Amino acid sequence: MKKSILVLLITYYSVIMAKAQNYYTEIHTDAKGYAYEIVNGDPSKSRVYTLKNGLKVYLSQNKDEPRIQTYIAVRTGSSNDPSENTGLAHYLEHMLFKGTSKIGTLNWDNESQLLEQISDLYEKHKKETDPEMKKKIYKKIDSVSKEASKYAIANEYDKMISNLGATGTNAHTWLDETIYKNNIPANVLEKWLFVEKERFSELVLRLFHTELEAVYEEFNRAQDNDARLVNYELMDALFPTHNYGQQTTLGKSEHLKNPSMKAIHKYFNTYYVPNNMALVLVGDLEYNKTIQLIDKYFGSFEYKEQPVKKKVIEKPLNHVIKRVVKSPTSERLQLAFRTEGTGSKEELYVQMIDMILSNTGAGLIDMNINQKQRAHGAGSYTSIFKDYGIHVLYGAPKEGQTLEQVQQLLLEQLEEIKKGNFEDWLLVAIVKDLKTRRLRSWEKANGVATKMYNAFIQKQSWEEVLGEIDQLSQITKQELMQFANNFYQNNYVVVFKEKGENNKLIRVENPGITPIVLNRTDQSLFYKEFSQIPEKEIKPVFLDYKALIKVKELEHTPFYFIKNTTNELAGLYFIYDFGTDNNKDLILALNYLHLLGTDRYSKSQLEQEFYKAGVTYDVQVYNDRIYVHLKGLEENIPQGLDLLEHLFSRALPDADAYNDYVKTIKKSRKNSKLNKQSIFKALAIYAQYGKFNRITNNISKDKLKNKNPQDLVDIIHDLHNYKKEIFYYGKRMSVAEKALLKSHNFGKGLTYKSPIKYEKLSSDGTLYYAPYDMVQAEILFQSKGDLFDVGKMSLARVFNEYFGGGLSSIVFQEIRESRSLAYSAYANYAVATKKEDYDFISCYLGTQANKLPQAVEAMSELMNHMPEIDKQFENAKNGALKQIASDRITKSNIFWSYRAARKRGLDYDIRKEIYAKIKEMKMYDLRDFFNKYIKGKKYNVSLIGKKENLDWNAVEKLGKIKELSINELFNY
């Protein structure tokens, strides 16, 4: 058996080797004279153009829906920040949402004069060393900024983009890149280009001091995120000379508080030029027409020579560097080796070793550490940048285990590679896995588009990108062993994240920003011109579930099928409509399953068999449902199902594994009680349900200890006997049907016992508080609404678009844009997902603790008095209509849409109804909705923050305070 598998894998390997020669670049020219590159054998059929001004354009078709994923990539990031103005690239990214001399202004002549004054004041502020004088200058900046805001139209860029029906509007900055993102309907491509051309044509630092304060709130959030703190230390030690380690994307506190607007303009003028930028568009587009439009709008940008940057050469690491980071959360470590950058042979070796260490279950770390529970969790990943890269191993200790012991376990896995102690077939299986992952990723426009902008940033040709996996396939086991022995020495950095007080937190006073003028009802001349550009209407397409989903009975079990017309990928799902509300032991048993072998295989052998077969399985347990999922190429599904059925029917109890499993659960619980996100989640659930909720109603440690492992295995063996649905997404229904009839035990079709009922509290205005040592404070308001009513779905959608979410919403404008009181703020009306459930209203603020009173006051005012701006309402309404019209629910998502509809008691695509109602909706409809279901509501409030930093006089005004201990929140 083993010999035949090896022969098959070697044959597959030979085919891969042959295919490696098929990728080569060809130059073509279209009828209009636009030259472009294609790569022979490219499944994405991508084209790469270079305009005369040096602008790179990446285009690829994906006709699944009439939308286009767009990225505008700039090949610069925090590594190019001036050393005296760190964080500049990032806050410049924020300012690219503020408009130009045409977008976002009522009177540019008057506004520009005031902006020049503000710029001069910032230069004066930066040079001033006396703290009191700096405060006086800042007050003057605040005053002039208020005056300048009278000529500004806040969020006009976002309003235009929302009007297009765009989704995912955002941007990010990293070491070598700044990426601007929008997903747009295909019919508004020219209008989008019209806006983006103007957006990138010049920089206007409008509403600068409020946005910079919002960036500082982002800096505060990072201080409360110890994953970032660990990464900062890791990069600093790995790169003592290069800016990868010496400058963070968010920058230094003192630089954020002392910016130079002139330096920002200089940076923009240097790097935001066409020969340092790329447009990436993937979706429902026509190649020839699209490149003509891009040239029409971006072809006039002027080429500008880029500064020649000599690569910073780091000295070799010849010893181990240890750093320590402390924070209130649990212990863990990261251990990293510095590698060469993109395109190097070293990159290929490291990526292959990373996969040998950690894949979906057959890696050395997976088998030797995680499955054997020798640590609380461990893994491996790589990040390869333009100049250098890093290979990171990470792990967390079990109870009673030291970080040094975890470190040693990780290093031992590298020693195994050096000795060649891994299976010969593993390299071939990894290549097969990587090809399948690429196939799955590139099904979606975003998958191809992301790969494209990465190629541009890292100066890779598209041919090189396509050939990466084939290059990996040619690496031999002997080469990897030799590389590992030479590369992985005592030349690494290890960062211990220990539990303790972080004495490096920076806390600053509230600068006292005067709210700026928003001019929400006004529009610039540019906006009016934008509105006149015609757009061809996209007609919405709604689902006919009966026509699209094939269903039949297999042994008293509903079997649903949707045909995959795109590729050879397949997915088989077993869906049980019960979960932990029915039996708390279900999650205990099904997580225990991941640690068990069978009467034929040990756990590691079983995982290897799945990996050899090219399939992965997953078990997900929720409060009301269970999913057992198998995925891979369709040809591998029958073999994968054989293995899955064998596991569920022949799993054997292991007392030692269970004892370690209980220790793992106890450690996880201990860690949760130290983690801010876990505490805040528990606090919010307590505020919703009270003392008896899904977190507090847990299995006690004594019950865990006394469980009989055989009882848990019996639950696993018995699962097939209960009612379920089976869903298959693949090319041929017969493949799954035959495999199911051959391998699957359909069981008895029993009904599971009734679930526990967790009743949501009525909202009485109680404030639930949990203390935590952090820079920010976070507060969540929650109110129970009415029972599900399908008629509210259209109003809720427009309300959330208009009022509560997105960059042009009322909440964002008032809380962040006007007053700079929070980096993150939202309000949301959530329609129940089940017909027997209640709607829920929530609003959230994450802000510097000393800004909390002002932020809460502003949010409370909004939640009781909704501003009515007709133009903004129409914008939100049109945006929602265009999103629905261009939305296409396809592939396996058709079935999940059907399931979601059924839970609400519907048998049709509700979007048709929502679309029709939004079309007829008026401002007074939204006002009535707000007044009836939101205004005047009482809220249960969840608050987390450091007690000493909070203004308790202000907090007490919110309601009766109930401080909860960690033990009360978790009950373990």
Per-residue pLDDT tens digits for 765-788 = 999 999 999 999 999 999 999 999
- The CATH number of 767-970, from 3.40.50.2300, 3.90.1010.10, 3.30.830.10, 3.60.110.10, is 3.30.830.10
pLDDT tens readout for residues 187-214: 999 999 999 999 999 999 999 999 988 8
Band (911; pLDDT cuts 50, 70, 90): very high
Is the domain spanning 568-674+683-743 CATH 3.30.830.10? The answer is yes
Q: Tokens 């198998």 correspond to what residue? A: 630
pLDDT in tens, 541-583: 999 999 999 999 999 999 999 999 999 999 999 999 999 999 9
pLDDT band at 14 (very low <50, low <70, confident <90, very high): very low
What is the pLDDT at residue 508?
73
Beta strands in 580-681 (DSSP E): 615-621, 626-633
What integer best gives the mean pLDDT of the chain? 95
Tokens of 936: 């005047």
Phi and psi at 80, nearest 5°, equal -100, 5
Task: Residue 500: name the closest of 376, 669, 675, 331 by CA.
Answer: 331
Side-chain-facing half-sphere of 546: CA atoms under 13 Å: 3
**Domain spanning 321-444+459-499 has what CATH number?**
3.30.830.10
What does the pLDDT read at residue 807?
A: 83
Is pLDDT of 830 > 90?
A: yes
| Gyration radius from the chain CA atoms | 29
Q: Could you tell me the pTM of the whole model?
A: 0.94
Asked if 211 and 98 count as a contact pair (C-beta separation under 8 A), the reply is yes
The sheet carrying 332-340 orders its strands as 321-327, 492-499, 332-340, 388-396, 377-384
Q: Find, among 91, 18, 84, 72, the residue nearest to 182 by Cα.
A: 72
List the chain domain ranges.
2-40, 321-444+459-499, 568-674+683-743, 767-970
CA 21, chain centre distance (Å): 36
**Residue tagged 């009966």 (tokens):** 546
Do 321-444+459-499 and 568-674+683-743 fold alike per CATH? Answer: yes
pLDDT in tens, 623-681: 999 999 999 999 999 999 999 999 999 999 999 999 999 999 999 999 999 999 999 99
Residue that is written with structure tokens 């932020």 in the block: 855
Task: Print the SS3 string covering 244-306.
Answer: HHHCCCCCCHHHHCCCCHHHHHHHHHHHCCHHHEEEEEEECCCHHHHHHHHHHHHCCCCCCCC
Q: Two tokens at 559?
A: 């079997």
At residue 450, what is the residue type? T
33: left (phi over 0), alpha (psi -120 to 50) or beta: left
**pLDDT of 42-88, one tens digit each?**
999 999 999 999 999 999 999 999 999 999 999 999 999 999 999 99
